[in-house]
Amino acid sequence: MTRIKVRLFGVEARSLGRSELELDLPQAAPTCADVRRAAAAAAPRLASWLAICRFAINHAFVDEAAAVGPGDEVALIGMVSGG
Amino acid sequence: MSIQVEILDGPLPADGGAWSYPGAGAVVGFDGVVRPQEGEGEIDGLRYQAYQPMAERELARLARAIVERFGVLAVRVAHSRGFVPAAGCSFRLRIAAAHRKEAIWAMDWFIDQLKRDVPIWKSAVDAVERAGAGRASQ
């Protein structure tokens, strides 16, 4: 089992009322795809947003196959609106 | 080549005047200013949330990208976080290049990418919300 904390921002954070989601994943070496599935199961209110979110690990965008380690800073990045 | 990235609290201060870079024949600038309306309603301003380390990293990545892609010479970019009142400046980009065209193309490309990749979010703030935030902080 791997415990992952996922940082939330913007509408995702507002929809859940918190800025972090803690997930226990059964995989010893989970990927972002595993984190996405676990987040949807743990927080169904996020499901519609998750479809358009990207993941960042340690402040860089990654793809779904990227491995997530216990010490990594994982962030869910939805639609951004800077400028 | 020179790249400068800043994320600052509140509205960006007035520009300090002319800026250039050795070898530049064109310096273009863009200021993003908060509109007093959002949708159909009037607002007091916008509150920006930045995922700071990643936002700085992405802004720097985009700056390096326009150096490589368009051959610009220097980039200065700043973005606000926190509350920016209507008419305040929340985003400023300055690009110096040898020639006008690459500077203008780079400007447009940078801003398109910013709106896709830089983890900064804005939310409208009206007078009621500001009063509530003020009471909460007392």
Q: Per residue in A31-73, pLDDT tens?
A: 999 999 999 999 999 988 998 999 999 999 999 999 998 889 9
Q: Whole-angstrom Cα distance, residue B102 to residue B71?
A: 7
Task: Provide the domain limits for residue A53.
Answer: 2-77
Residues of chain A found within 8 Å of residue B122, distances taken between Cβ atoms: 81-82
Q: How many other C-beta atoms lie within 10 A of the C-beta of residue A56?
A: 23
pLDDT band with cut points at 50, 70 and 90 for residue B111: very high
Q: Is residue A83 part of a domain?
A: no
Q: Is B134 in contact with B83 (CB distance < 8 Å)?
A: no
The residues spanned by each domain of chain B are 2-10+44-137
Q: Do A10 and B48 touch (CB under 8 A)?
A: no
Q: Is residue A38 part of a domain?
A: yes
Q: Whole-angstrom Cα distance, residue B28 to residue B75?
A: 10
Residues of chain A found within 8 Å of residue B111, distances taken between Cβ atoms: 83
pLDDT at residue A70 in the model: 82
* CATH code assigned to B2-10+44-137: 3.90.1170.40
pLDDT, tens digit, 9 for 90 and up, residues B48-103:
999 999 999 999 999 999 999 999 999 999 999 999 999 999 999 999 999 999 99
CATH code where residue A60 lies: 3.10.20.30
Q: Do B79 and A7 touch (CB under 8 A)?
A: no
- From B73, B77, B86, select the one nearest B31 (Cα to Cα): B77
Token pair for residue A25?
């994943």
Distance from CA of B93 to the nearest CA of A (A): 10
Q: Is residue A17 part of a domain?
A: yes
Report the half-sphere exposure of B136 (CA within 13 A, side-chain side).
6
Query: Per the structure, how many domains does chain A have?
Result: 1
| B79 vs A: CB within 8 A | yes
pLDDT at residue B40 in the model: 80
Q: Is residue A37 part of a domain?
A: yes
Q: Whole-angstrom Cα distance, residue B123 to residue B125?
A: 6
Show Cβ contacts of residue B21 under 8 Å, excluding neighbours closer than 6 positions.
B2, B27, B73, B74, B96
Distance from CA of B19 to the nearest CA of A (A): 21
pLDDT at residue B129 in the model: 72
Show Cβ contacts of residue B107 under 8 Å, excluding neighbours closer than 6 positions.
B28, B30, B93, B95
Q: Where are the beta strands (DSSP E) in A1-83?
A: 2-7, 20-25, 54-57, 60-62, 74-77
Mean pLDDT (whole number) for B20-28: 95
Q: Is residue A53 part of a domain?
A: yes
Q: Is residue A30 part of a domain?
A: yes
pLDDT at residue B132 in the model: 66
pLDDT at residue B133 in the model: 63
Task: Return the SS3 of B80.
Answer: strand
Single pTM value for the model = 0.92
Task: Return the SS3 of A78.
Answer: coil
Q: Do B115 and A80 touch (CB under 8 A)?
A: yes
Q: How many other C-beta atoms lie within 10 A of the C-beta of residue B57?
A: 18
Q: Is residue A39 part of a domain?
A: yes
